[in-house]
Structure 1
Amino acid sequence: MTVAQVATRLAEYCRNEEFSRAQQELYADEAVSIEPADIPGFDRETKGKEALREKDRKFNEMVESRHGTSVSEPLIAGNAFSFVLTMDIKMKGGDRQTMTELCVYTVKDGKIISEQFFM
C-alpha cells in the first residue's frame, strides 16, 4: 500500500472506531507509539504490535461510553501523514469530554512503523 492508501484506510477505521482492526491490518510488527506526556497507567513509549494491542485493550477498559469520533482528511508528506482525531467520550468515573489530538504516522513498506500523538 502507498502512504496515501494507508492514511485513507486508517482514517476510515478511526471514523468507525475500529482501532483494533486498524492496528492488526496496518501496523508493522515493530511499530512504536509515543504519547504526548505521562498519562497515568500508560508508558510514554510503547514498542511492538503486541504491546500496542495491550495498550488499546487497556484504554478500552477505561472507557465507559463513546459518543462519536471524527477524523480530518489526512495530510501526507513523503512517508508520513497526519490527521486530527476528535473523540466524544466518557471515561469510567469521569465526565463526558471531547478529546482532540493531532496524530502523526510514519509508513515504511506499506505499514505504519510509528505513531505519535499531540494534544
Structure 2
Amino acid sequence: MSKPVTPSDPSIFYSCHIFVCCNRRPDGHRRGSCAAKGSEGLRDYMKARMKELQVPQSRVNSAGCMERCEFGPAMVIYPEGVWYRPATTEDVEEIIQTHILGGGRVARLMLTENDVLPPKA
C-alpha cells in the first residue's frame, strides 16, 4: 500500500527512475535469473539510449533480485511503479518511446499482479 504524499515530503530527485534486475544466480538454478536472460545488455542499451535521447531527470540503475526472476528480465519504472519484462533491445526501445517519452504503456510487456508464482506446496 502506498503512502500519500505530504507537503513535507521532498521533491522527487528523478522524474524517471528505472531499475533493471541484474541479479545472477548459478547456472541451472530452478528460478533462473534476469542476468542469465540478458538483462545486463538490456540495461546497457537503455542507459545509452536515455543518454543519447537526453531524457531529463532520468536514471537507469542496476538492481539486485526483485523477486520476479521467473518472468524476467524484470524492470520497474518509477514514480509510476510499472513493471516490464523486455526480452530484446527492440522491447526496450518500445518502452522508452511509448512509456518514458510518450507517457503511455506497453501492455504486451507489462508484468502485473497476475504474474506471480503459485505458493509452494
Larger strand fraction of residues: 1
* Structure of larger gyration radius: 2
TM-score normalised to the size of structure 2? 0.30
TM-score, normalised by the number of residues in structure 1? 0.31
